[in-house]
Amino acid sequence: MRYLPHSAHERAEMLGTIGASDIDALFSAVPKAALKNFSLDLPAHSPEFLVEAHMRSLAGRNHAAGDGPFFVGAGAYRHHIPATVDHLIQRSEWLTAYTPYQPEISQGTLQMLFEFQTQVAKITGMDVANASLYDGSTGTAEAVLMARRLTRKSKIVLSGGLHPHYRDVVKAYLKDDPDLVCLSPSPEGQGDILEQIDGDTAAIVIQTPDFYGHLRDLQGAADAAHAQGALLIVVVTEIVSLGLLEAPGALGADIVVAEGQSIGNALNFGGPYLGLMATRKQFIRQMPGRLCGETVDADGNRGFVLTLSTREQHIRREKATSNICTNSGLCALAFSIHMALLGEAGFIRLARLNHANAVRLADALAGVPGVEVLNKTFFNEMTIRVAQLAAALVERLARRGILAGVPASRLLPDDPEVENLIILAATELTSDSDIAALAAALTEELA
């Protein structure tokens, strides 16, 4: 077996050193009834070329995003990843390192995390960021819990424009909690979240661009929340938007949670993704997740360590701030490299390109008879209404090789008002010919 180093002779020699008669003697604590009392109906080991053939056959049964026109978004976005990013993250010293518990020999990972935290803080306009969380959805649930700890109040209001999966994760984390208010989705634009804020409110949660692509007024929400002593949690599922949109921190956000997948990380059918969290300086001791901080070594040289870990489960156990036990280190690395390659100039260009393509897409769709574009504002994603069941239409377009977007009913199956809605995204990878192909196909299908 190609990954196992011992020969039979070496195994025997080692058992001799241990003083064990055979390998089963080392499992003597296992009850006899349970030790090797089965035969597994699973295949035996396999050479590399056969494993590869099997996996390729499975992969071959999927329609990859690059195989044709592609407009699917709703919380995960297809962007180009520079070859340099994937090359660098596959270097052994990045890929096969563990959590930097021994900082003297983990300065690469630690300095990268310090740089990553700085990038995230700058993009969101906040004071501090952590070293990443699992993803945007679990990060949102953590932010809600953090707001409760900070305000010692319990009412949480989720905007109807929050991604339905994110809403469901918050509901699961706050199971059966009557103080969680989930507003109905509002495909037409701004909802009435501000009316829900009262003196018992710990936080309101607003996504922008929202689930339907509309841009939301954060400054007004922050002012209304702060007037009642509540916090504003801002959720961003498309981090590229912040190349063009005002930073939430500049508009009064208290906690910003984002999905960082768009920068450096592939679609991967939904994971692994990258949760970003940033907040105000005075809140850092209630922020969950790992933090990397700067310090000096015994020679006075600058160095980096994981810090403020007294909040974490391995020290505080049942009193821990959260039960998070890791971060998305490699995804954070990919994000940080891609962001460093973009730089300020590239990040802004990327965002402008996304918006310009989305404007072209919106205009093309508005010209298709039977299609209504609902958005007055958007970044790179929008919602259309068609006079048919959206899910069936998307399925028919998929058979024509066009992945046309997400039927809203896929995420909100119990809401009959959304069954004619499709959410579509354009990115820098969306070409004019992709848009023309979609418009032509839609015209035919809706005729």
Partner 1 sequence: MSMNNQGRPTGVGSIGTAASGSALLPDEPLLFEIGDNEHSGVDLPEVELAQDRLGGFARKSKLDLAGLTEPEAMRHYVRLSRLNHSIDSGMYPLGSCTMKHNPRLNEKMARLPGFADIHPLQPVSTVQGALELMNQLSHWLMTLTNTAAVALSPKAGAHGELLGMMAIKAAQAARGQAHRSVVLVPESAHGTNPATAAFLGYSVKPVPAKADGTVDVEAVKTALSPEVAAIMLTNPNTCGLFEPQVIEIAKAVHEAGAFFYCDGANFNAIMGIVRPGDLGIDAMHINLHKTFSTPHGGGGPGAGPVVLSEALAPFAPVPFVRRNGDALEMVEHAEGQALGRVTAFHGQMGMYVRALTYMLSHGADGLAQAAEDAVLNANYVKARLQHLFSVPFPEYPAMHEALFDDSFLKDSGVTTLDFAKALIDEGFHPMTMYFPLVVHGAMLIEPTESESKQTLDRFCEVMAELASDAKAGNRERFTAAPMKAPRRRLDETRAARQPILKWERPANLPQAAE
> Smallest distance from the beta carbon of 343 to partner 1, in angstroms?
1
- Position among 148, 166, 383, 445 found at the interface with partner 1 (CB under 8 A): 166
Strands 128-129 and 421-425: unpaired
Burial of 380 (0-12, 13-18, 19+ CB in 10 A): buried
Alpha-carbon distance of 263 to 119, in angstroms, equals: 12
- Position among 26, 366, 387, 389 found at the interface with partner 1 (CB under 8 A): 26
- Position among 182, 194, 356, 374 found at the interface with partner 1 (CB under 8 A): 356
CA of 262: how far to CAs of 203, 271, 361, 426, in Å?
Answer: 27, 12, 20, 13
Site residues for partner 1, 285-304, by CB under 8 A, read 290-304
Q: Is 327 in the site for partner 1 (CB under 8 A)?
A: yes
- Position among 69, 119, 264, 385 found at the interface with partner 1 (CB under 8 A): 119
**CA torsion sign, 40 to 44 to 49 to 53?**
negative
* Region of 11 on the Ramachandran plot (φ > 0 left; ψ -120 to 50 alpha; else beta): alpha
- Position among 21, 90, 184, 282 found at the interface with partner 1 (CB under 8 A): 90
- Position among 196, 207, 262, 322 found at the interface with partner 1 (CB under 8 A): 322
Contacts of 110 (CB under 8 A, 6+ apart): 100, 103, 292, 303, 304, 305, 306
The one segment of 72-80, 153-161, 192-200, 431-439 that binds partner 1 by CB under 8 A: 72-80
Q: Is 398 in the site for partner 1 (CB under 8 A)?
A: yes
The one segment of 122-130, 192-200, 222-230, 432-440 that binds partner 1 by CB under 8 A: 122-130
Shorter beta-carbon distance to partner 1: residue 168 or 229: 168
Site residues for partner 1, 124-163, by CB under 8 A, read 125, 127-129, 131-132, 134-138, 163
Site residues for partner 1, 370-389, by CB under 8 A, read 375-379
Block residue for tokens 């003597």: 28
Alpha-carbon distance of 372 to 101, in angstroms, equals: 55
Q: Is 447 in the site for partner 1 (CB under 8 A)?
A: no
Alpha-carbon distance of 134 to 380, in angstroms, equals: 24
Please count the residues of this chain forming the interface with partner 1, following the rule CB under 8 A. Answer: 211
Shorter beta-carbon distance to partner 1: residue 291 or 438: 291
Shorter beta-carbon distance to partner 1: residue 228 or 377: 377
Max CA pair span of the chain: 82
The one segment of 146-154, 191-199, 226-234, 339-347 that binds partner 1 by CB under 8 A: 339-347
> Which residues make beta-bridge pairs with 259?
275
Q: Is 56 in the site for partner 1 (CB under 8 A)?
A: yes
Q: Is 446 in the site for partner 1 (CB under 8 A)?
A: no
> Smallest distance from the beta carbon of 236 to partner 1, in angstroms?
12
Shorter beta-carbon distance to partner 1: residue 66 or 369: 66
Q: Is 366 in the site for partner 1 (CB under 8 A)?
A: no
Shorter beta-carbon distance to partner 1: residue 194 or 340: 340
Residues in the chain, overall count: 447
Tell me which H or E stretch contains 305. Answer: strand 302-306
Q: Is 181 in the site for partner 1 (CB under 8 A)?
A: no
Contacts of 376 (CB under 8 A, 6+ apart): 189, 214
> Smallest distance from the beta carbon of 170 to partner 1, in angstroms?
10
Helix, coil or strand: residue 429: coil
> Smallest distance from the beta carbon of 384 to partner 1, in angstroms?
14
> Which residues make beta-bridge pairs with 258?
236, 276
Shorter beta-carbon distance to partner 1: residue 173 or 229: 173
Q: Is 310 in the site for partner 1 (CB under 8 A)?
A: yes
Q: Is 413 in the site for partner 1 (CB under 8 A)?
A: yes
> Which residues make beta-bridge pairs with 339?
none
Strands 231-236 and 201-207: parallel
Q: Is 419 in the site for partner 1 (CB under 8 A)?
A: no
Amino acid occupying residue 332: A
